[in-house]
């Protein structure tokens, strides 16, 4: 098992109190698995990803354990994590376009980064060129400044940089949201290619666009208000979701061939709860079409069939 997360709680410390952005998450990602992570804005997707690599104030580790390749990751210790970042865990950030230093040429950026990790650009030249060609970038880009690359090219450059040392776990955070549809497809395919070539072992692919996950992910975890509500194979989440929230999320997706001027997107009525004082019991109950008194008590995450977990009292009770 590449990654095992157990009862992880990550809060933000604010003047008003603690924002419980990740509140008791447990899940596993297998070797070679791309796990999609989806849910509405503010459900804790980025917090989870960032906590696995860059946990710093106002983000605060509360409790839980993260095991990567049978070793405990010291995510609560920013300094101790230095030896894991980039080598064992790497992130392609949400705003990858701005991630590269604008006043250095790309050759220098890569060279500095490698040196920082005790590696040499010269020794890794062949790998760098191979990886560039894998993401369809000419090696001439090394002599350019980031500003001379298009948004899509910058994105692919960041993908190469983040994965140069073959990290076990790659965190991809909304890496397609600023791209046009054809670049989205290309970038998604490249992530799969990185996995297939064993450049990375496993991936957490965050997006609120489930149609992208359908093309890329082996499994999908759906989060709502800091909690996991459902996890299953991509096929099951898309075709046979069980949690009322997942069902609404899937039914609000555009269908191929439908014109939205004629059929408006449905969306989910209401808004997610504040995570400063989240509701007791099921956090979705106020928006849930099938909620009952039972939902005042928190539903446990139950495995309804192998590999399919759901946290809802209604599932299996009808």
Ligand X SMILES: Nc1ncnc2c1ncn2[C@@H]1O[C@H](COP(=O)(O)OP(=O)(O)OP(=O)(O)O)[C@@H](O)[C@H]1O
- CB count in 10 Å sphere of residue 207: 23
Closest CA to 250 of 38, 20, 78, 71: 38
Q: Which single residue is written with the structure tokens 């010269």?
A: 122
- Binding mask 121-160 toward ligand X (x if CB under 6 A, else -) reads ----------------------------------------
Considering the complex, state which of residue 11 and residue 84 has its C-beta at the smaller distance from ligand X: 11
Backbone angles phi, psi at 294, to 5 degrees: -55, -30
Give least dist CB 130 to ligand X, A: 33
Three-state DSSP string of 192-246: HHHHHCCCCCEEEEECCCHHHHHHHCCEEEEEECCEEEEEEEHHHHHHCCCCHHH
User: Which listed range, 12-20, 121-129, 150-158, 287-295, lies at the site for ligand X (CB under 6 A)?
Assistant: 12-20
Strand partners, 92: 172
Choosing from 35, 43, 68, 109, the residue that interacts with ligand X (CB under 6 A) is: 43
Q: Between vectors from CA 145 to CA 125 and to CA 150, what angle results, nearest 5°?
A: 100
Determine, following the binding rule CB under 6 A, whether residue 46 of this chain makes contact with ligand X.
Answer: yes
Using CB under 6 A as the criterion, what x/- string covers residues 255-294 for binding ligand X? --------------------x-------------------
Residues with Cβ < 8 Å from 255, sequence gap 6 or more? none
Among 36, 42, 146, 244, contact with ligand X (rule: CB under 6 A): 42
Q: Which is nearer to ligand X, 45 or 201 (CB)?
A: 45
Closest CA to 84 of 146, 165, 10: 165
Binding status of residue 8 toward ligand X by CB under 6 A: no
Dihedral class, residue 39 (left if φ above 0, else alpha if ψ from -120 to 50, else beta): left
* Alpha helices (runs of H) in the chain, residue ranges in sequence order: 45-51, 106-116, 121-134, 151-163, 181-196, 210-216, 234-239, 244-251
Please work out the total of residues on this chain that contact ligand X, with binding judged by CB under 6 A: 15
Of 37 and 135, the one with the shorter C-beta distance to ligand X is 37
What is residue 166's DSSP assignment? -
Pattern of binders to ligand X over 56-75, x per CB under 6 A? --x-----------------
Contact region for ligand X (CB under 6 A) — 39-47, 75-83, 160-168, 230-238?
Answer: 39-47
Q: Which is nearer to ligand X, 46 or 176 (CB)?
A: 46
Between 41 and 317, CB nearer to ligand X: 41
User: Which residues ranging from 16 to 35 are in contact with ligand X (CB under 6 A)?
Assistant: 19, 21
In the set 2, 5, 38, 45, which binds ligand X (CB under 6 A)?
A: 45
Q: Does 208 bind ligand X (CB under 6 A)?
A: yes
CB of 194 to ligand X, least distance (A): 22
Contact 223, 284 (CB under 8 A): no
* 44 touches ligand X (CB under 6 A): yes
Binding site for ligand X (CB under 6 A): 12, 14, 19, 21, 39, 41-47, 58, 208, 275
């Amino acid at each position: 098992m590449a990654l095992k997360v157990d009862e992880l709680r990550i809060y933000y410390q604010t003047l008003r109190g603690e924002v419980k952005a990740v509140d008791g998450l447990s899940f596993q990602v297998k070797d070679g698995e791309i796990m999609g992570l989806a849910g509405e804005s503010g459900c804790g997707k980025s917090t989870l990803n960032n906590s696995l690599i860059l946990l710093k104030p106002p983000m605060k580790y509360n409790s839980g354990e993260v095991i990567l390749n049978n070793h405990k990751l010291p995510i609560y210790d920013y300094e101790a994590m230095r030896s894991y970042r980039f080598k064992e865990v790497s992130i392609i950030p949400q705003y990858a376009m701005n991630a590269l230093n604008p006043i250095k040429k790309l050759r220098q950026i890569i060279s500095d980064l490698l040196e920082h990790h005790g590696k040499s650009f010269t020794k890794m030249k062949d790998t760098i060129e191979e990886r560039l060609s894998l993401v369809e970038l000419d090696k001439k880009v090394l002599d350019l400044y980031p500003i001379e690359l298009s948004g899509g090219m910058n994105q692919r450059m960041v993908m190469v940089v983040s994965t140069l040392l073959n990290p076990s776990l790659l965190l991809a955070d909304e890496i397609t949201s600023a791209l046009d549809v054809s670049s989205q497809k290309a970038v998604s395919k490249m992530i799969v290619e990185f996995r297939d070539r064993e450049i990375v072992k496993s991936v957490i692919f965050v997006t609120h666009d489930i149609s992208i996950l359908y093309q890329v992910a082996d499994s999908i975890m759906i989060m709502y208000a800091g909690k996991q509500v459902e996890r299953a194979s991509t096929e099951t989440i898309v075709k046979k979701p069980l949690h009322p929230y997942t069902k609404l999320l899937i039914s609000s997706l555009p269908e191929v061939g439908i014109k939205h001027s004629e059929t408006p997107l449905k969306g989910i009525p209401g808004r997610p709860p504040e995570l400063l004082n989240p509701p007791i019991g099921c956090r979705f109950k106020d928006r849930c079409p099938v909620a009952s008194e039972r939902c005042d008590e928190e539903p446990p995450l139950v495995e309804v069939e192998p590999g399919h977990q759901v946290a809802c009292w209604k599932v299996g009770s009808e």
